[in-house]
Amino acid sequence: MNRLAGIVVAVIGFIVAISSVLKVIPSLTSTGVALILLGGLVIGLSFVDKPDAGGTERMPTPLTLANIFVSPGEVFQNLRRHPRWLVAVLMMSVLSAVYFNAFQYRLGPDRVAGFALDKTKEMSFMTEEARAQIEASRPQTLEDNRNPVLRAGQAVNGFVGMTFWLAFLGGVFFLFAMAMGGVLNYWQAFAAAVYSTFAFSVIRFVLNMIVLFIKDPTDVHPITGQSSLIQDNLSFLVSAADNPVVYTLLASFSLLGFYWIWMNVTGLTNAGEKVSSSTAWTATLSVFFGLVFLGLIAALLFPSFIS
């Protein structure tokens, strides 16, 4: 069934990509390619064996989505025998799209897109010719940012990107467990990564939406505000314009970030057949500090985008 679904998704992606190239559905080539890649991922995962259910009753998905906040250990133990990912990733993608569109509505799509263009022009390695080309593309960029078809395509791209990221994260956890002598099926690692991120994403969405409609739009950063408006870290101690790297480092160590770490550790220790807490902590912290390092590199290379 999963293999057939992957083929269907890939075929739909091929049709969308061809239709976009032929200008039947303009500007959705990337979405078509993304769907082709997603179909390939689903087909590939269909060859990976799932763990034996062992006679354990499957927890209904709505109950799984609700209990992850109040009884995560129980949820992950059930995911050990019945791993799944689709509904949780779909919900996260919908929440992400809702927040992005609310953000655009609150700040204004022209301000958000225009700010990104201005910051791109400020990058030190930009030549005068490149800056002129960026400025010439401004009207089309602003128009594209208001295009509902492109918005829908971006939402699909977000779903595909999130699926690939979580599948990769599951692979990292799987390899860590194997290297450290644990017993963890890939699907168990994938499900642990998905549902840990789901709990984190829902809480972040609710808090971000509250802050978005309470805060004055003129005080919201058009770029960094797209990821988070929650002040649960010490980044306020420094100026992003004067110390972008230190600002990014302080912003990385947030209360929600620590919650994500704890959820991942809980997921790996309960979803795996034999995963020690030390293995779960090592795998999770390695990923976390890897992401922090990439964030610092981005802040070093593109400081203007967070100033």
Digit-coded pLDDT (tens) for 77-106:
999 999 999 999 999 999 999 999 999 999
For position 270, what pLDDT does the model report? Answer: 95
Is the pLDDT confidence value at 38 over 70? yes
256 plus 152 within the same structural domain: yes
139 confidence band (pLDDT: 50, 70, 90): confident
AA letter at 93? S
233 plus 147 within the same structural domain: yes
Is the pLDDT confidence value at 167 over 90? yes
For position 146, what pLDDT does the model report? Answer: 81
Least confident of 106-115, 222-231, 268-277, 298-307: 298-307
For position 53, what pLDDT does the model report? Answer: 83
Per the model's pLDDT, the better-predicted residue between 263 and 20 turns out to be 263
106 plus 1 within the same structural domain: no
Most confident range (mean pLDDT) of 41-55, 139-153, 220-234, 282-296 is 282-296
CA-to-CA dists, residue 146 to 31, 94, 112, 142, 155, angstroms: 17, 19, 11, 7, 14
For position 115, what pLDDT does the model report? Answer: 86
98 plus 8 within the same structural domain: no
Percentage of the residues of the chain whose pLDDT score is greater than 70: 100
27 plus 87 within the same structural domain: no
For position 256, what pLDDT does the model report? Answer: 95
29 plus 60 within the same structural domain: no
263 plus 140 within the same structural domain: yes
Average pLDDT over residues 33-52: 93
Average pLDDT over residues 208-219: 93
For position 174, what pLDDT does the model report? Answer: 94
Structure tokens at 166: 């979580």
37 plus 149 within the same structural domain: no
80 plus 128 within the same structural domain: yes
34 plus 67 within the same structural domain: no
Structural domain tally of the chain? 2
For position 294, what pLDDT does the model report? Answer: 94
- Residue 183 backbone phi and psi in degrees, to 5: -125, 110
| Averaged pLDDT score across all residues of the chain | 91
For position 1, what pLDDT does the model report? Answer: 54
130 confidence band (pLDDT: 50, 70, 90): confident
The model carries a pTM of 0.91
110 confidence band (pLDDT: 50, 70, 90): confident
Domain assignment of residue 119, given as a range: 56-306
- Residue 69 backbone phi and psi in degrees, to 5: -90, -25
181 plus 262 within the same structural domain: yes
CB-side exposure of 153: number of CA atoms within 13 Å? 21
Q: Of the candidates 143, 162, 161, which has an alpha carbon nearest to the alpha carbon of residue 151?
A: 143
State how far the Cα of 279 lies from the Cα of 267, in Å rounded to an integer.
Answer: 12
CA-to-CA dists, residue 177 to 12, 47, 51, 174, 306, angstroms: 36, 20, 16, 5, 36
26 plus 157 within the same structural domain: no
